[in-house]
Structure 1
Amino acid sequence: MAWAASMDIVQISDFHCVADGERAYGRVDTQAMLGRAVAVLNGLTPRPDLVIATGDLVQAGRADEYAALRSILAALEIPLLPCLGNHDARGPFKAAFADLGLSFGPEPFAQYAVDFPALRIVVLDTVTEGSDAASFCAARASWLETALAQDDRPTLIVTHHPPFLTGVPWMDPDTLDWTGGLEQALAGRGSQIIGVISGHIHRAIHTRFAQIPASSCPSTAHQVAFDLTARRPVLSLEPPGFQLHRWTGGQLLTHTVSFDGLQTTFSPPGAEPHR
């Protein structure tokens, strides 16, 4: 079957939202930064069809943090799909987004699929609770294989942990052995899977995984410092950003955009309109 419809998807990630009166790492006002991001996204033209939030939505997985998060996201005028990150906690995460009616599975994991006319979105759970490390066990992989077999429409895979090494030593795992089940589930589906989008890294990185385009997204808050030698955590206050993934029916095009200065525009003197 031919699937020709288009779709604009905004990806935002790694909010690290804290409770009222707190700051992430005692420094970053992640609530204010997320609020600003929501306001900017509401003003985008054309209006995106969907926002996907790729994990680490709160700082410590606490209910009061999720309450603050949902209060801020209540102003978002675009439908939202959330993904679990290693700073999140499955129980509070599921409770916080219970109103979205997502069908999570298999228990206890927070995986789900949502069908749109143009695309199928499959959101995966790569979290190892109690650890920052990624995992993707046989139960999760089997669920993914079944989900992919149910519908042949173009499919976008969403994870928190990127299934590739980034070159940032303190962020990269020693091995990518956790990706075996994911790679097997995606093998041979290059005509179905249009991309794998991830968070976690707080930077825009593009590569391929299982012969499929794969990428990570900047944070709405602080970034991971651009230091390809650091072996201890180093963050930066580079401008926050987002990505817009435009599916045209045959191509996935990604724009990486900074929130800073986005709404301050001008035309060069004497510039002629493009024809």
Structure 2
Amino acid sequence: MLIAQLSDPHVRPDGVLYKGVVDSNALFAAAIAQVNALDPRPDLVLLSGDLVDEGDPAEYAMLRRLLRGLKRPLRVIPGNHDSRTAFAEAFAEHSYLPRSGPMNYVADDCGPVRLVALDVTVPGLHHGVIDDVGAQWLEEALAAAPERPTVLMMHQPPFACGIPYLDAYLCREGDRLAAIVSRHPQVERIVCGHVHRHMQLRFAGTILCTAPSTATAIALRLKPDAEPASFEEPPAMLLHHWQPAIGLITHFLPIGAFAGPYPFA
């Protein structure tokens, strides 16, 4: 099973640039085109939050226009820049999504890998949290299929990455999440967005990784007094490849046209 993960496209209304600088809509369209061109084609596409930049209905209208070009099954989760209400309205035909409240759901009909999506966003704020309701829901969702290889999707990652202006907005109560996941060894991967960079680490007996943004890259500045910054680095996606005899391999794939292919490896 092949799962493509896109994240943080920060779609803007038609003709409006992200932060007044970057054409995030065109970059997201290029990402969709690259997903469509993959061979073999992904069985599933994940979009792990911050689908739009300001939660505005005009942004979601543009997002829907762009997503009409996607030719593979899609599963989505909101981020801190999304509006739960506008998000639910924009994806009203996605029957797996709750109509209100946290957008938690399970997708176990897309292939051998089960997807558990946990909405850790806090409306109106930029950090995430594993609260009592989310923790109980996740425990029950994972306990329902202990033999199925599982990917857990969230938006904010539950760890301090060392970039000070990102760590203020991580997912809080990471220890609570770790305690739950450690009881469920079928969790092959925790996949997140939010940080606009690819990161990975061991977490609760599994691997946690973050997807880069299809828009801009947040600067990798590790000094405690570092000032927030971003760059127009090449956008990228993650490809999670499940093989029964091996498990789940995660690949980093830049988005764009590059010289090659050359007849050597």
Q: Please give the range of the TM-score, normalised by the shorter of the 2 chains.
A: over 0.9
Identify which of 251, 257, 265 aligns with 2:253: 257
The answer to whether the aligner puts 1:133 opposite 2:145 as a matched pair is no
Seen in structure 2, the aligned counterparts of structure 1 residues 177 and 39 have a Cα distance that, compared at 3 Å, is closer
C-alpha distance in 1, partners of 2:170/2:141? 27
Percent identity for Structure 1 against Structure 2: 36
Report how far residue 138 of structure 1 moved. Answer: 0.3
Which residue type is aligned with residue 18 of structure 1? R
Report how far residue 177 of structure 1 moved. Answer: 4.2
1:106-255 correspondence to structure 2 within 5 Å? 108-115=101-108, 116-152=110-146, 153-173=148-168, 177-190=172-185, 192-229=186-223, 231-249=226-244, 250-255=246-251
C-alpha distance in 2, partners of 1:171/1:14? 14
The answer to whether the aligner puts 1:15 opposite 2:23 as a matched pair is no
Report how far residue 174 of structure 1 moved. Answer: 8.1
The answer to whether the aligner puts 1:33 opposite 2:23 as a matched pair is no
Moved over 3 A (4+): 174-177
C-alpha distance in 2, partners of 1:49/1:128? 30
Instruction: Give the 3-state SS of the residue equivalent to 1:98 in structure 2.
Output: coil
C-alpha distance in 1, partners of 2:170/2:236? 28
The answer to whether the aligner puts 1:51 opposite 2:28 as a matched pair is no
Seen in structure 2, the aligned counterparts of structure 1 residues 200 and 245 have a Cα distance that, compared at 3 Å, is same
Q: Deviations over 1:21-55 (max 9, x none)?
A: 21111111111111111111111111111110110
Q: Is the 8 A contact 1:163 1:209 kept in 2?
A: no
C-alpha distance in 2, partners of 1:175/1:85? 12
Corresponding residue for residue 68 of structure 2: 74
Which residue type is aligned with residue 60 of structure 2? Y
Seen in structure 2, the aligned counterparts of structure 1 residues 155 and 213 have a Cα distance that, compared at 3 Å, is same
Which residue type is aligned with residue 245 of structure 1? H
C-alpha distance in 2, partners of 1:211/1:41? 30
Could you list the runs of 5+ residues in structure 2 that have no partner in the other structure?
none
Report how far residue 97 of structure 1 moved. Answer: 1.1
C-alpha distance in 2, partners of 1:151/1:259? 35
Corresponding residue for residue 4 of structure 1: none
C-alpha distance in 2, partners of 1:175/1:197? 14
Question: For the aligned residues, what is the CA RMSD?
Answer: 1.8
Q: Deviations over 1:215-244 (max 9, x none)?
A: 001111111112222633200001000010
The answer to whether the aligner puts 1:86 opposite 2:65 as a matched pair is no
Q: Is the 8 A contact 2:130 2:172 kept in 1?
A: no
Report how far residue 175 of structure 1 moved. Answer: 8.0
Which residue type is aligned with residue 115 of structure 2? I
Number of residue pairs matched by the alignment: 261
Which residue type is aligned with residue 108 of structure 1? G
C-alpha distance in 2, partners of 1:176/1:46? 34
Instruction: Give the 3-state SS of the residue equivalent to 1:42 in structure 2.
Output: helix
Q: Is the 8 A contact 1:157 1:193 kept in 2?
A: yes
Report how far residue 259 of structure 1 moved. Answer: 0.8
Moved more, 225-234 or 194-203: 225-234
Q: Deviations over 1:90-137 (max 9, x none)?
A: 1111111111211428x5111110003301100111111111111121
Which residue type is aligned with residue 164 of structure 2? P
